[in-house]
Structure 1
Amino acid sequence: MTQLETAMAILMKVFDQYAAADGKTSSLSKAEVKTLLEKELPQLIKQAKNKEDVDKLIKSLDFNGDAEVDFEEFVVLVAALTCSCHGRQGKK
Structure 2
Amino acid sequence: MSQLEVAMATLIQTFDKYAGSDGKKCTLSKTEVKTLMEKELPGLLKAAKNPSEVDKLMKDLDFNGDSEVDFQEFITLVVALTCAAHNRFCKR
How does the TM-score come out when normalised to structure 1?
0.91
Q: 1:12 maps to which residue?
A: 12
What are the ranges of 5 or more consecutive residues in structure 2 without an aligned counterpart? none
Q: CA RMSD in A?
A: 1.0
Q: How many residue pairs are counted as aligned between the two chains?
A: 88
Moved more, 48-57 or 27-36: 48-57
Identity score, percent: 66
In structure 2, what is the Cα distance between the partners aligned to 1:73 and 1:32? 14
Alignment partner, residue 73 of structure 1:
73
- Superposed structure 1 runs of 4+ greater than 6 Å apart: none
| Structure 2 residue aligned with 1:82 | 82
TM-score, normalised via structure 2 length? 0.91
